[in-house]
């Protein structure tokens, strides 16, 4: 008898995920940690190169993840509201699941390798600057960014 298990991201809804499943969805791209600007007239979101000062740009991980919302009050907790997904990058697994779309080939849950997100050029490793080095966000908008 062969039993085939369907991966959780293919059959569960975000609200049904365990904490471990939720955390494993993060691909480690760091895109959500980039400062964004919103056009007040159109609602369009523009990503900048300026990353949150808590982001370890080389690892693309938050250095203070458990305390991030205390240290950076504007950091949002996605588990507290699925209405916030519109500002997430189009490549984000949380957004993709929310929209009923599959995970991309480079996602570590598909590839089995955390480095695949960097190899695919999805992470901010090569483009981000710490927000502490940026004076005007408008000067650091990323053109042609598939945010």
Residue 133 lies in a domain: yes
Nearest alpha carbon to residue 59 among 9, 128, 7: 128
pLDDT at residue number 87: 81
pLDDT at residue number 60: 96
Residue 50 lies in a domain: yes
If one counts the domains in the chain, the total is 1
Residue 23 lies in a domain: yes
Q: What is this structure's pTM?
A: 0.88
Which residue numbers in the chain have pLDDT < 50? none
Cβ atoms of 93 and 107 within 8 Å: the answer is: yes
Residue 88 lies in a domain: yes
Distance CA 9, CA 100 (A): 10
pLDDT at residue number 2: 65
Question: How many Cβ atoms from other residues are within 10 Å of residue 141's Cβ?
Answer: 15
Question: How many Cβ atoms from other residues are within 10 Å of residue 52's Cβ?
Answer: 23
Residue 77 lies in a domain: yes
Residue 122 lies in a domain: yes
Residue 8 lies in a domain: no
pLDDT at residue number 79: 75
Containing structural domain, residue 93: 14-140
Residue 3 lies in a domain: no
Distance CA 131, CA 47 (A): 13
């Amino acid at each position: 008898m062969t039993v085939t298990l369907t991966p959780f991201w293919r059959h569960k809804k975000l609200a049904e995920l365990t904490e471990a499943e939720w955390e494993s969805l993060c691909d480690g791209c760091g895109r959500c940690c980039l400062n964004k600007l919103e056009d007040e007239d159109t609602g369009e979101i523009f990503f900048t190169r300026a990353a949150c000062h808590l982001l370890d740009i080389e690892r693309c991980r938050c250095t203070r993840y458990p305390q991030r919302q205390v240290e950076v009050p504007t950091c949002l907790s996605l588990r507290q509201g699925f209405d916030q997904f519109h500002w997430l990058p189009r490549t984000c697994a949380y957004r993709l699941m929310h929209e009923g779309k599959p995970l991309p080939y480079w996602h570590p849950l598909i590839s089995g390798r955390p480095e695949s997100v960097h190899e695919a050029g999805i992470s901010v490793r090569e483009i981000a600057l710490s927000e502490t080095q940026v004076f005007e966000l408008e000067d650091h908008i990323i053109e042609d960014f598939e945010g």
